[in-house]
Amino acid sequence: MTPFLRRLRRQPAVLVAAGVVALLVLVALAAPLLTALEGQDPTTYHPELIDSARGGVPVGPFGGISGEHWLGVEPQTGRDLFARLVYGARVSLGVALAATGVQVFIGVAVGIAAGFGNRWVDQVLSRATDAIVALPLMVLALALMAVVPSGFPRPVLVALVIGLVAWGYLAKIVRAQTVTLKELDHVAAARLSGWGSVRIARRELLPALAAPVITYAALLVPANITVEAALSFLGVGVKPPTASWGQMLTSADVWYQAAPQYLLYPAGALFVTVLALTVLGDGVRTALDPRAASRLRIGTGSGHGPAREAHS
């Protein structure tokens, strides 16, 4: 077993978080199978399950929970909540992962180019990165989302917008690491041997940058889930009838008293997902860099934590 896996095993909270994340990913991938097992889908209306005399609240106890509707139905429309929740996991996780991929690609490319290039290239790319970091993410995202035609697939658009406006901090981290790495003997030897910049970056820099990039990417995923939910909540993200946790929260804000479960289900799913991914990301950071103490103090008991191992 590698030292990385040993350090992860010594952090019980991280193992629990990893299990929760794996379960969420499995639920998202198996959404069609799960909804078929229930016998429902996320878009079909069930007006017969809505009490119009009471303003559109579901008929029956706990929001219409039954053998046919495992979590009840949506107020006013009667759409199945379980189906919308599991399909919403697909959108929320998919958008977050895709956005993280875009951020990593741009951030690593810009960071390496700035750190390994000449002074002029470094100045231009560093100032561009500073400008991206200074821009307010939500304001810029709202502006971009508003001008794109409505026919463009919204989940793809949300992922692209988040990725294109939030890569600055990763680029700064990669640039700082690259400036240090390019002074090492093996990189200098590669340059003297006549290797091109692309080959040096691929063979010498990227392997050394893997740990900080993976660490930061693991922490970007929960942040991107939150941004997607916020954009959908503000009405510029994923549009109905596509199910998204943020979009469900948008529709639920007027039902929190009459049908509180409609608000609690997506909010609870978001809370659990973000918490699990944050704990997992912090655990990965600690395991990859055992000298750094975990911000959450996960598994750092006396004599068994990663910090102790770093000095052994």
- Where do the DSSP E strands lie in 184-299? none
Q: Select from 111, 130, 124 the least CA-distant residue to 180.
A: 111
50 — phi, psi (to 5°)? Answer: -115, 135
pLDDT of residue 167: 93
User: pTM for this one?
Assistant: 0.80
Hey, what are 174's tokens? Answer: 């990669």
End-to-end Cα spacing for the chain:
18
The single-letter code of the amino acid at 135 is L
What is the structure's pLDDT at 212? 87
Give the integer Cα–Cα distance in Å for 213 and 173: 8
Of the CA atoms within 13 Å of residue 30, those in its CB half-sphere come to: 10
Task: For residue 131, give the H/E element and its range.
Answer: helix 119-134
User: Which pLDDT score, from 0 to 100, does residue 291 have?
Assistant: 59
Q: What is residue 57's DSSP assignment? A: E
What are the structure tokens assigned to 68, written together?
A: 């046919």
Per-residue model confidence (pLDDT) at position 223: 87
Sign of CA dihedral 220, 222, 228, 231: negative
Look at the block and give the residue holding tokens 């508003």.
146
pLDDT digits (tens, 9 = 90+) for 217-267: 888 988 898 888 888 888 778 887 788 888 888 778 777 777 788 889 999
Q: Write the Ramachandran bin of 271: left for phi over 0, alpha for psi from -120 to 50, otherwise beta.
A: alpha
User: What is the pLDDT at residue 187?
Assistant: 83
Mean pLDDT in order along the chain per 10 residues (312 residues):
80 92 94 94 90 82 86 90 93 92 95 91 94 86 80 88 92 93 84 83 86 86 87 81 83 78 89 90 78 46 41 40
Q: Is the alpha carbon torsion for 280, 283, 289, 293 positive or negative?
A: positive
**pLDDT for the residue 290:** 58
Question: DSSP 3-state assignment of 204?
Answer: helix
Q: Report the candidate in 185, 183, 187, 207 with the shortest Cα–Cα distance to residue 196.
A: 187
Inter-residue contact 129 to 172 (CB < 8 Å): yes
Beta bridge partners of 58: 50
Give the C-alpha separation, 252 to 245, whole Å. 10
Place of tokens 């956005």: 99
